[in-house]
């Protein structure tokens, strides 16, 4: 069993229920969630919990950029650097830009991306290798086009050097 501890910062019980379900469904039974109601409390818990991921619920009345900056700094100086995922009530481009510049790993909207939380969790957390892994959905056409473009550039470069 792999330890996949998530430190969650929220006071929203409905969101916590959804997060726990997504965590269990996508990461597995070895995962656990520790909940802190404030960023200050999360900062003091970060070292002792050995969290592999921090999920912060951004609400106007509970978060500020200064507090996020403190959380990022605390995460950076701990023995295990934990990525930080911010869940906002609605996606705001200016807010996303500012948080990404500060160093947040992911910024998602509760209203638009809630069904994708499990995939976000599993991308940041270790999980046991499945015997029959599900294929990852990608835009195969775009990926194929990039691969063909790269291959043709490589052939052109190698023919010039010969």
In tens, the pLDDT along 86-142 reads 999 889 999 999 999 999 999 998 888 777 787 887 788 765 544 444 444 444 443
Could you state, in order of their start, the residue ranges of all structural domains in the chain?
4-130
Tell me the C-alpha distance between 98 and 70, whole Å: 15
Q: State the chain's mean pLDDT as an integer.
A: 77
**Which residues are CB-neighbours of 67 under 8 A, at least 6 positions away?**
39, 40
pTM given for the model: 0.73
Tell me the C-alpha distance between 160 and 70, whole Å: 53
Mean pLDDT over 58-71 rounds to 86
- Does 29 have pLDDT greater than 60? yes
Is residue 52 within 8 Å of residue 24, measured between CB atoms? no
User: For residue 37, how many C-alpha atoms fall within 13 Å in the half-sphere facing its CB?
Assistant: 2
- Does 24 have pLDDT greater than 50? yes
Is residue 92 within 8 Å of residue 108, measured between CB atoms? no
- Does 79 have pLDDT greater than 80? no
Tell me the C-alpha distance between 42 and 64, whole Å: 14
User: For residue 117, how many C-alpha atoms fall within 13 Å in the half-sphere facing its CB?
Assistant: 26
Tell me the C-alpha distance between 162 and 63, whole Å: 60
pLDDT-derived band at 65, boundaries 50, 70, 90: very high
Is the domain defined by 4-130 classed in CATH 3.30.70.1140? no
Mean pLDDT over 15-20 rounds to 88
Lowest mean pLDDT among 17-21, 33-37, 75-79, 151-155: 151-155
């Amino acid at each position: 069993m792999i330890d996949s501890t998530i430190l969650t910062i929220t006071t929203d019980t409905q969101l916590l229920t959804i997060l726990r379900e997504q965590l269990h469904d996508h990461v597995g039974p070895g995962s656990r969630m520790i909940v802190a109601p404030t960023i200050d409390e999360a900062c003091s818990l970060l070292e002792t919990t050995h969290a592999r991921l921090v999920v912060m619920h951004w609400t106007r009345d509970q978060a500020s950029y200064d507090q996020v900056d403190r959380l990022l700094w605390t995460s950076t100086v701990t023995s295990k650097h934990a990525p930080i995922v911010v869940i906002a009530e609605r996606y705001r481009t200016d807010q996303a830009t500012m948080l990404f510049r500060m160093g947040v790993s992911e910024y998602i909207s509760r209203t638009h991306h809630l069904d994708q939380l499990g995939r976000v969790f599993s991308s940041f957390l270790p999980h046991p290798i499945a015997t029959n892994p599900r294929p990852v959905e990608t835009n195969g056409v775009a990926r194929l086009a990039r691969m063909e473009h790269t291959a043709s550039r490589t052939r052109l470069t190698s023919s010039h050097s010969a």
